[in-house]
Every structure is written in structure tokens, then in C-alpha cells.
């Protein structure tokens, strides 16, 4: 990958560009709708599960309800190749799938709302898995729209505004749902989350449809699934396997850590409102600062240098959660230790996330945008998410403090791998890589 792709000193400021480019406004709204579902599948819902008395080991296993986010590469090629039923013909392939997925998210949120994890855990799991499937599909088609709607030199800016929208949606699904759960109960909170998807529908309706590269082809299962993978491997050439290994390991520490963050806060006796205030209200401007700091760093220092820094910074930030686990039980001044630790982790996470998004976007070709980005993001999620399913058992044996220390140490070999890929890339930039 050429560093020239990400260094653009003459680019307009992100705020000025937002008002000058219709695609960025649409990206903001679509990012919002993408940011709502994931926390409601497990992250925010883990507070509901804790209140319902579900054992910590089971809560850890239920992080696997987000399985669809790791497997979305399986059906992503069909979203690239075929139109959505009815809507595809009316408003275009990308936007048709986006609106269909948004409606599915709304319906499954309503399904989760009428569950009761204390008495009918099967109902909650079933609708949560369906919500994960709808949310993962929505992520996939929005990423496909983002990559095909703008040229590669605009992808860092598109990614930044997608992340801003995602963070706002995440704020609503996190702080909003937690505050509402304390005020009106979990059922009403989830129903209101379904209503909150409405701005995403408006953004999808107003977004420009990218130019179609090909008409729908006859169903060819093998070609549909294999062709995006073949093209990616051929284009990356000798750098393919080191690059894919880096993508697979980059977010492993974060996925493992995030699965047990809310259970840690509940174990330290913080209320839903406390958690919402610190992780979302305090965390929102902190995460935005991380997002735009990463955008600046990529433009100023280049993608690979920022990627290397991001993996070290993000994994080492978990040590703040380890300190919180040892000294942050609710009471008096410990609240500010809670706020500081979580804010540091949020800043580091958002910084690393935007760099990785930019990296994976540049690796994806426009002809297979949804397929290849879904493949890369699934590859990024699989290792950490699989290990995260055992995190409850790890905490039962090690305690929260040693658990978060261990997640920080996982980042060391990933940083070494990133440095190696950077060195290899300097020796040979494969033809066709943007």
C-alpha cells in the first residue's frame, strides 16, 4: 500500500468537507444507524443480563451472540453481486440492501424488547442472534456503499465521519439505553432503540447511489464466494499472508477486553446511570478526539506508522482497566478513577479503530467493496471474539485485574507483526494495491 494514499496535506478540514460533500452527510447518518445494533446485541444487554442474575460464565459465553459480525464475509459477496428484493430495482443495489437491513434491525430490536432473560433466556438469545445478523448485514452494505461512493483519497475522511456517526449511534445505544432502562425499564428502552433507527432510514433515502459496475448475474455460488478472495490475494501478492495476519491480530486485545468491561463496572457496584455517564457521555467527546487525532496522524505521519502506534497504544490502555479493577470499587473519589480509566481506554480504542478502518478500506477494491471489507473486518473480529467467549471463565480463575493485564500483553506480538509488515511493504508494494 502506498503511503501517498493517506498523506494529503492539501485536503480540506473534516468540518468544511462535511458541508461541501453530500456523501459525507449521508455517511454521518448511515454511520449512526450502523452504530446502534452492536451494543444492543451484547454490550448494553450484558447489564440487563447481570441484573437478571445470569451467571458471569454464561454472560461471557453469550458474547458469542455477536457471531454474525464475524461471519458476515459469508453472505457479503451476494450483497455485492445481487439486488435487494424489490428495493434494489427502485433505489439501487447498495441503498436497497441498506434500507432492508435497517428494517430488519428495527423488527429484531422489538423482538428482544419482549424477552425476559431471567425467565426466558432462549427467547432473548434467539432474537439477539437475529439482531446480530441484521446488524452485521447493515454494517456490510454501508461499508460497501462507503468504499464505492468515494475515491480512495477520500476514504480517510469518509471513515472519520462514519466513525463520528457510529459513535453517536453507540452513544444512543449505550448511554441512552442505560438511562432509559433505569427510568422506564428494559422493554421500553429497546422499543425506543428501534424507533431511533429512523434517522438512518432518512440518510439511506438521501444518499447518492454509486454507479453500478455490473448488472445482476446468474447465481453462481462458487464464483460469488471465491472471486473476491482470489482478487484480493492476487493483488496483494507476497504481502497477502502477513497483511491478513496483521488484520486478524490487530483488534484481538480490544475484543477480549470489551467483552468483560461492563461486567467489571457492575462488579464494582456502579449503576446503569454511572456506566452511561462515564462510558458514553464522558466517552463520546473523548472518542471523537481519538477519531480526529487518528485522521490527523494518518495524514501527517502516514498509515503504517500510525497503525503501529495504534496497536501499542490501544493494547496498553487496558492497564488502566486493570488498575480500576484493583482500586475502583464505587465510593468517594473512586468514581474519578473510573472516569479516567474508561476515557483513556475509549480514546485509544477509537484511535486504533479509525486507523484500522482506513487500512482495510484501502485494501478493498471497488469492484468487491462489500465482500472484501467484510472479509477483512470478519478476519479482524474472529480471533479476539472467539477467545472473548471464554473470558468469563478466565475472570473466574484470574480475577479482573490480571485479566486486563493479560489483554494488554497480547498487544506486544501484534505490534511486532505490524513492524514486520511495514518493513516488508517498504521493500515491495504490490501492483494494483491502492
Domains of the chain: 3-427 (1.20.1250.20)
Phi, psi dihedral angles at 328 (to 5 degrees): -110, 20
Give 89-144 pLDDT, tens digit per residue.
Answer: 888 888 999 999 999 999 999 999 998 888 888 898 999 999 999 999 999 999 88
Confidence band for 212, pLDDT divided at 50, 70 and 90? low
- The 3-state DSSP class for residue 1 equals coil
Q: Answer yes or no: are the C-beta atoms of 292 and 351 closer than 8 Å.
A: no
Given a cut of 80, whether residue 264 has pLDDT beyond it is yes
Alpha-carbon separation of residue 212 from 42, 265, 412 (angstroms): 36, 47, 43
Local structure of residue 83 (DSSP, 8 states): P
Give me the chain's average pLDDT, please.
82
∠ at Cα 196 (193, 198), nearest 5°? 140
Instruction: Name the residue with higher pLDDT: 89 or 6.
Output: 89
Alpha carbon distance 403, 76 (integer Å): 34
pTM value?
Answer: 0.67
Amino acid at each position: 500500500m502506498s503511503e501517498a494514499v493517506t498523506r494529503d496535506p492539501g485536503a480540506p478540514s473534516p468540518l468544511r468537507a462535511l458541508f461541501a460533500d453530500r456523501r459525507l452527510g449521508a455517511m454521518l447518518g448511515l454511520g449512526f444507524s450502523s452504530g446502534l445494533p452492536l451494543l444492543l446485541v451484547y454490550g448494553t444487554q450484558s447489564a440487563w443480563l447481570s441484573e437478571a442474575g445470569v451467571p458471569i460464565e454464561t454472560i461471557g459465553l453469550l458474547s458469542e451472540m455477536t457471531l454474525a459480525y464475524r461471519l458476515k464475509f459469508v453472505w457479503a459477496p451476494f450483497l455485492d453481486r445481487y439486488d435487494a428484493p424489490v428495493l434494489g430495482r427502485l433505489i439501487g443495489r447498495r441503498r436497497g440492501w441498506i434500507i432492508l437491513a435497517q428494517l430488519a434491525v428495527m423488527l429484531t430490536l422489538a423482538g428482544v424488547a419482549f424477552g425476559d432473560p431471567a425467565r426466558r433466556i432462549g427467547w432473548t438469545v434467539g432474537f439477539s442472534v437475529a439482531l446480530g445478523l441484521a446488524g452485521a448485514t447493515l454494517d456490510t452494505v454501508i461499508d460497501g456503499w462507503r468504499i464505492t461512493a468515494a475515491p480512495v483519497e477520500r476514504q480517510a475522511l469518509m471513515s472519520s465521519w462514519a466513525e463520528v456517526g457510529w459513535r453517536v449511534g453507540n452513544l444512543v445505544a449505550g448511554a441512552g439505553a442505560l438511562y432509559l432502562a433505569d427510568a422506564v425499564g428494559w422493554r421500553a428502552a429497546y422499543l425506543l432503540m428501534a424507533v431511533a433507527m429512523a434517522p438512518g432510514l432518512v440518510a439511506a433515502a438521501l444518499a447518492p447511489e454509486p454507479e453500478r459496475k455490473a448488472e445482476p448475474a446468474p447465481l453462481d455460488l462458487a464464483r460469488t464466494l471465491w472471486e473476491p478472495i482470489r482478487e484480493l490475494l492476487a493483488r496483494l501478492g507476497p504481502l497477502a499472508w502477513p497483511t491478513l495476519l496483521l488484520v486478524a491480530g490487530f483488534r484481538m486485545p480490544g475484543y477480549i477486553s470489551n467483552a468483560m468491561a461492563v461486567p467489571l463496572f457492575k462488579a464494582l457496584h456502579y449503576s446503569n446511570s454511572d456506566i452511561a455517564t462515564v462510558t458514553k457521555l464522558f466517552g463520546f467527546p473523548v472518542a471523537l478526539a481519538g477519531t480526529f487525532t487518528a485522521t490527523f496522524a494518518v495524514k501527517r505521519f502516514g498509515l503504517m506508522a500510525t497503525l503501529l502506534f495504534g496497536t501499542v497504544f490501544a493494547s496498553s490502555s487496558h492497564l488502566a482497566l486493570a488498575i480500576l479493577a484493583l482500586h475502583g470499587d464505587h465510593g468517594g473519589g473512586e468514581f474519578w478513577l473510573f472516569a479516567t480509566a474508561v476515557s483513556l481506554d475509549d480514546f485509544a480504542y477509537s484511535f486504533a479503530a479509525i486507523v484500522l478502518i482506513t487500512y482495510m478500506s484501502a485494501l478493498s477494491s471497488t469492484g468487491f467493496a462489500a465482500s472484501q471489507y467484510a472479509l477483512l473486518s470478519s478476519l479482524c473480529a474472529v480471533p479476539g471474539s472467539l477467545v472473548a467467549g471464554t473470558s468469563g471463565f478466565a475472570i473466574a480463575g484470574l480475577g479482573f485485574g490480571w485479566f486486563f493485564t493479560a489483554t494488554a500483553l497480547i498487544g506486544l506480538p501484534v505490534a511486532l507483526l505490524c513492524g514486520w509488515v511495514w518493513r516488508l511493504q517498504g521493500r515491495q508494494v504490490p501492483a494494483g494495491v491502492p
